[in-house]
Amino acid sequence: MKLHKAILAAAVLVPAGALAADTAMTAFVDSLLAQMTLDEKIGQLHLPVGGDIVTGDIMENTIGADIAAGRIGGVFNMKGCNQIRDYQRMAVENSRLGIPLIFGMDVIHGYETVFPIPLALSCSWDMDAIEQSARVAAAEASAAGICWTFSPMVDISREPRWGRVAEGSGEDPYLGARIAEAMVRGYQGDSLRNNDEIMACVKHFALYGAPEGGRDYNTVDMSRQRMFNEYFAPYKAAADAGAGSFMTSFNVVDGIPATGNRWLFTDVLRDRWNWDGFVVTDYGAITEMMVHGLGGPADVSRMALDAGVDMDMAGQMYLNVLKGLVEQGKVTEEQIDTACRRILEAKYRLGLFDDPYKYINPAREASEIYTDSNRAVARRIVPETFVLLKNEGNLLPLAKTGTIALIGPMADAANNMQGMWSVARTAADRSVRQAMTDALGTNAQLLYAKGANVYGDAVVEAGVTWGGHDIRDPRSADELLAEALDVARRADVIVAALGEASESSGESASRAHLRLPDVQQRLLEELVALGKPLVLLNFSGRPTVMVYEQEHVPAIMNVWFGGTEAADAIADVVFGAEAPSGKLTMTFPRSEGQIPVYYNHLPTGRPRSDGPAPFEKFRSNYLDEQVTPLYPFGYGLTYTTFAYGTPQLSAAVTSGEPVTVSVDVTNTGNRAGNEIVQLYVRDVAASMSRPVKELKGFERIALEPGQTKTVTFTVDPAQLGFYNNDLEYVVEPGEFDVMVGPDSGNVQTLRFSLSE
């Protein structure tokens, strides 16, 4: 019998609360650590990528040998119970102490049932739905042996050039924090006790979403007050929600790579926020510290360990270097013990010492993945993520009559709709073309033409379709265009399905130009020139610059990458069986030159007026561009309209008591609809400059035609504070504006005072 099992027999498992202090756990890990050699402890800190290892060949593979030698703590991005079981068996039966492995994976927006990309999900502003998406993802991944997901990514970003905005929840810290909590709850459930609850890994700590120039992996530099006031809230919310692990980011923070930044991981995350999970690096990030210019393997490994970073993902720095550092007295064995303890605690919290095969259940794998009920959960959410940006003359929804031309490279591209990081997906998908054909039946005729490839340049296209998407048409751009125009001419209405390839956003997918790719832009302009009713469905993983579109296309809907259920959701929304009800969580700029452009900016001492002059001298504006964005944060239309009454405050002056703000919202259209009512606050005068508005509340409501609901927000004085330059959270008395409205650019304002 393995030693850990003997210990286990004497231990009482108390897995209450995800990160609850647990004396039984401490006793268990103490005894285990006491039996481990230094090599075995260092082995726990090593996380190699799984690779394509075939069952039966494992013994010939270094990973197999390393597992048996106790040189591995876990493995990641390996799919399927069979492989995972073989690895686990090797750890449990062949290694000296039988310590189980932890199995991680990038389950980012679903497993086989793929949900809309995270940026799209955030546009739902629907915390229950977002939590459910994580719940389904956890249930499916856990059925296939995965007990740890590298999600949620909670990096706030105001950088649409940065492709990874697709993986986050947009630009707002308050909304980002609520989503972070929902995701952690969804993945981890109540306690990690059940075999469908998996450990979350909050990433990327910290500030990964603010790279200079929007270029992935690039330098980040900002004041600490800005970190605390504008970027940290979602990380903290996830830590408070009990997330079991955190991942480091690739960038520097205060000039020090995050992966070696003790202030971040020890002073802030552990000491200040009182969090006690384990920290894993991002992929090879300790190794990259050498490229950042922090020294050789010994220097960077020591720095990362000193910082409080426990596990080395995909690098072999800790594995190869730490023992020597202990022998030289540069690192203490206690430090190794601390890191190892945290990883063992995570395994304990997951129940792996109790049952190392807890998550490895082929029967569940066969019956609980991509089920009708999971797909139904995804299907329900998708229309909530669509953002209707323009709908002149109520062109949408379209009637199911006449001849409809569906045109564009996204129309028949089922794979592309899965979006980046849908690594586990194998299920066959439907395209918009198939879904629309079925939705129309014999009521109307659907014509189709591709119209353009995603990019004119085949090499560029290959670079963003590496996920096996065979979508390129060998015909020339002119041939594709001519065919499309011929089809469009025969139609009563045109639906243009255009946008990015799925891998044009996500990791390593920065873009300097945010318009539609040239060939698609040309196609769109030619379609516009036909003068027919035209709907643009924009598939994107980030804000698109759409000034031409806003001026010339009557109806525009951002449908992002909606996952396995996207096609039917698009058809149902286009033909009106359902309505779109998302609102933007990232500002859409008018041009790249405006970036960063975000709603919660500080006031400038020289704002420009709202007047008509294109340019105001000695004011903060551009000679050649407006200062306002194309579509502001929080913006989105639906198929009905809403009227807001005059908001009411519970008190004009308050001394520490919460204030309530109420507003009546009426559905003034003739069909039922959902509205996302938003509350913003501004500190009018403070000891430092404060943003012109900050989101502090929101509510998604459903209204029947003619129905009115009163939405009441409670603003607690504790929500009115900020971090000063000593990084103390202060609430200062004085005047506050409270704003209510349908989006950040359209609010009604009231004022109240907070007295001492």
Catalytic sites, residue numbers: 282
CB 344 within 8 A of CB 44: yes
Round to the nearest angstrom and report the end-to-end CA distance of the chain: 66
Binding to ligand NOJ by CB under 6 A, coded x per residue (else -) over 62-81, reads: ---------------x----
What whole-number distance in Å separates Cα of residue 250 and Cα of residue 253? Answer: 10
Cα maximum dimension of the chain: 82
Q: Which residues lie across from 278 on neighbouring strands? A: 245
The tokens describing 670, both together, are 């003739």
Place of tokens 């330059």: 725
Instruction: Out of 507, 525, 625, 732, point to the residue binding ligand NOJ (CB under 6 A).
Output: 507
What whole-number distance in Å separates Cα of residue 743 and Cα of residue 215? Answer: 29
Q: In whole angstroms, how close is the CB of 566 to ligand NOJ at the nearest point?
A: 23
Q: In whole angstroms, how close is the CB of 346 to ligand NOJ at the nearest point?
A: 16
Contact flag: residue 365 with ligand NOJ (CB under 6 A): no
Instruction: Out of 115, 205, 228, 283, point to the residue binding ligand NOJ (CB under 6 A).
Output: 283
Place of tokens 């040189």: 71
Nearest residue (CB) to ligand NOJ, 505 versus 744:
505
Place of tokens 């000063």: 724
Contact flag: residue 203 with ligand NOJ (CB under 6 A): yes
Instruction: Out of 282, 461, 572, 578, point to the residue binding ligand NOJ (CB under 6 A).
Output: 282
Nearest residue (CB) to ligand NOJ, 346 versus 659:
346
The tokens describing 532, both together, are 């027919």
Across 117-274, the runs of DSSP E, i.e. the strands, are 148-149, 199-205, 245-248, 252-253, 256-257
Nearest residue (CB) to ligand NOJ, 218 versus 445:
218
Instruction: Out of 22, 40, 66, 106, point to the residue binding ligand NOJ (CB under 6 A).
Output: 106
Bridge pairing between strands 534-539 and 493-499: parallel
Mention every residue, 6+ apart, whose C-beta is less than 8 A from residue 289.
Answer: 257, 259, 260, 295, 300, 303, 304
Nearest residue (CB) to ligand NOJ, 138 versus 495:
138
Contact flag: residue 46 with ligand NOJ (CB under 6 A): no
Place of tokens 């990096």: 155
Contact flag: residue 217 with ligand NOJ (CB under 6 A): no
Nearest residue (CB) to ligand NOJ, 282 versus 429:
282
Nearest residue (CB) to ligand NOJ, 203 versus 342:
203
CB 445 within 8 A of CB 404: yes
Q: In whole angstroms, how close is the CB of 40 to ligand NOJ at the nearest point?
A: 25
How many of the chain's residues bind ligand NOJ (CB under 6 A)?
7
Q: In whole angstroms, how close is the CB of 216 to ligand NOJ at the nearest point?
A: 9
Contact flag: residue 148 with ligand NOJ (CB under 6 A): no
Q: In whole angstroms, how close is the CB of 175 to ligand NOJ at the nearest point?
A: 21
With CA atoms as reference, report the closest residue to 374 among 549, 53, 608, 115: 115
Nearest-5° angle of CA 586, CA 589, CA 595?
90
DSSP state of 601: P
CB 102 within 8 A of CB 359: no
Which residue is at the shortest CB distance from ligand NOJ?
A: 150
What whole-number distance in Å separates Cα of residue 374 and Cα of residue 143? Answer: 13
Nearest residue (CB) to ligand NOJ, 43 versus 118:
118
Contact flag: residue 150 with ligand NOJ (CB under 6 A): yes
Residues within the interface to ligand NOJ (CB under 6 A): 77, 106, 150, 203, 282-283, 507
